[in-house]
Amino acid sequence: MPEIAVLPGDGIGQEIMPEAVATARAVTENRGFVWREHLIGGAAIDATGGALPPDTLAACLEADAVLLGAVGGPKWDALPVNQRPEPAALLPLRKHLALFANIRPIRMIPALIGASPLKEEVVRNVDLVVVRELTGGLYFGEKGRRSSPPAAYDTLIYTEEEVRRITRLAFQWARERRRRLCSVDKANVLESSRFWREIALDVAREFPDVELTHMYVDNAAMQLVRQPDQFDVIVTENTFGDILTDLASVLGGSIGMLATASLSGKKGLYEPAHGSAPDIAGQDKANPLAAILSAAMMLKYSFGLTAESERVENAVTAVLADGWRTADLAEPGARIIGTKEMGAKVRAAL
Ligand code: IPM
Ligand code: MG
């Protein structure tokens, strides 16, 4: 029986995850899925002393897929950096599960055009996917401090194999879409970017049917707000991808809509990109749609349940078309509802 490790984590993770699980359960009723909850993040620190308890890691390695809410919050901010929920739970979990590819699709749902801070004509046709490298680069390279004179450093390093596998996967995604891949780097300055570009060009020879272009990351940030519909698939380094996807998320209305899949070729971890949002946690205000759409991605990419996944996506689209909004998507005339009610409306629309 397929088993799913459910990790609600902290802050709004506790509120959005029940909605995602209930929605995914509703469309997989007869498939014998087993859903098991485990501790992660600050919740795990409070209960066990560590942000990623060995039991949780073992359960994730064992499970067929992982559904994650969010980790972190002010209560744990003062801990030394290597014990904080983000670096001590999320990053090692990604590394242990070898989730090297983070897929972040950003598409304009027509009902949300007014919720985007950008002009309608700019965002109307947005439909892009960012493929972010997730287990290498600046976040995982050697880091440290020196005392005299005081200094700190992080290292941006990629092996050839790391670049090959992420660019190859991005080419495959592009091949399933509009066959355009933009590799984002900073090759005018960084050696790691020049290396990345050489390898991308080499991998491109396996994909003569996909058009490869290159763009500097600073220009990519500008192009994403200036003319985002020029992009089909973007592939980029871990940190660049982290920054660009927060920026790109608002093209689709709000980061509260951004679902993600982290893939290894074997296993997938699915999580909304928005984080634990401590400022609104516990108030039934959070938008559960990114978590619900992450669960839909899980059904499709881990279990091949394309029809069930589309049922969930279509239900989300229908609820938004009816004018229902969580506070992050508020616009004049919108009908504002809370986390639980949004989840219930999606299930009613299945
Ligand atoms: C994300 C988040 C994480 C990241 C943080 C919480 C470590 O911002 O998934 O984008 O940078 O990967
Ligand atoms: Mg981020």
Burial class of residue 209 in the structure, from the number of CB atoms within 10 Å of its CB (0-12 exposed, 13-18 middle, 19+ buried): exposed
> Is 76 a domain residue?
yes
pLDDT at 18: 98
Q: What is the predicted pLDDT for the residue at 60?
A: 97
**112 found inside a domain:** no
242 counts as catalytic: yes
Q: Is 15 a domain residue?
A: yes
Q: State how many domains the chain has.
A: 2
Regarding whether 184 and 129 lie in a shared domain, the answer is yes
Calculate the alpha carbon distances from 180 to 87, 121, 211, 230, 238 in Å.
Answer: 33, 22, 5, 10, 20
pLDDT of residue 296: 98
Please check whether residues 172 and 235 belong to one and the same domain.
Answer: yes
Q: What is the mean pLDDT of residues 17-29?
A: 97
> Does the C-beta of 86 come closer than 6 Å to ligand 1?
yes
186 found inside a domain: yes
Residues 296 and 191 in one domain: no
- Is there a domain that residue 105 lies in? no
Examine the fold and report which residue of 226, 252, 278 is the final residue of a domain before the chain moves on. 252
Q: Exposed/middle/buried for 103, CB within 10 Å: 0-12, 13-18, 19+?
A: buried
Statement: residue 332 has pLDDT above 90: no
Cβ contacts of residue 266 below 8 Å, gap of 6+? 98
The reported pLDDT for the residue numbered 1 is 87
Closest to 64 in 3D by CA, of 28, 105, 18: 28
pLDDT tens-digit series, residues 160-191: 999 999 999 999 999 999 999 999 999 999 99
Of 64, 154, 229, 246, the active-site residue reads: 246
CATH number, domain with residue 235: 3.40.718.10
Q: Is the same domain home to 123 and 248?
A: yes
Q: Is 187 in the pocket of ligand 1 (CB under 6 A)?
A: no
Angle of helix 238-249 relative to helix 217-226, nearest 10 degrees? 10
Q: Is the CB of 242 under 6 A from ligand 1?
A: yes
- 246 is known as an active-site residue: yes
CA neighbor of 302 nearest in space, from 108, 55, 103: 103
CA of 350 from ligand 2 middle (Å) equals 30
Distance CA 135, CA 94 (A): 7
Indicate whether 199 and 169 sit together in one domain. yes
- Do 292 and 343 contact (CB within 8 A), yes or no? yes
Asked if 267 and 209 sit in the same domain, the reply is no
Question: Per the domain annotation, does 294 fall within a domain?
Answer: yes
pLDDT at 266 exceeding the cut of 90: no
pLDDT in the model for residue 82: 87
> pLDDT at position 86, please?
92
Domain that holds residue 1: 1-98+262-350
- What pLDDT does residue 115 have? 85
**Residue 275 and residue 240 in one domain:** no
Nearest C-alpha to atom 5 of ligand 1 is from which residue? 86
Task: Report which ligand 1 atom has the smallest distance to the Cα of 91.
Answer: 7
How large is the C-alpha radius of gyration of the chain?
20
Say if residue 90's pLDDT is above 90: yes
Residues 48 and 138 both lie in one domain: no
Distance 108 CA to ligand 2 centre (A): 20
Ligand having the closest approach to the CA of 73: 1
Judge whether 267 counts as a catalytic residue: no
186 CA to centre of ligand 1 in angstroms: 21
| pLDDT band at residue 127 under the 50/70/90 scheme | very high
Q: Whose CA is nearest to atom 11 of ligand 1?
A: 242
**Domain check: are 154 and 217 in the same one?**
yes
Tokens of 293: 């759409």
pLDDT averaged over every residue in the chain: 96
Residues 124 and 244 in one domain: yes
Helix residue spans in 213-268 (DSSP H): 217-226, 238-249
- Judged against a pLDDT cut of 90, whether residue 81 lies above it is answered with no
Distance (angstroms) between ligand 2 centre and the Cα of 181 equals 22
Q: Which atom of ligand 1 is nearest to the CA of 242?
A: 10
Instruction: Among 190, 222, 252, give the residue marking a domain's end.
Output: 252
Q: In this structure, are 276 and 331 located in the same domain?
A: yes
Does the structure show a pLDDT above 90 at 253? no
* Per-chain residues with Cβ under 5 A from ion ligand 2: 242
Q: Which of 252, 270, 294 is the last residue of a domain?
A: 252
Tens-place pLDDT, residues 104-117: 999 999 999 988 88
Q: Which entry of 10, 185, 232, 242 is annotated as an active-site residue? A: 242
| Ligand 1, atom 6: closest residue by C-alpha | 86
* pLDDT higher than 90, residue 316: yes
pTM over 0.85: yes
User: Are residues 208 and 158 located together in one domain of the fold?
Assistant: yes
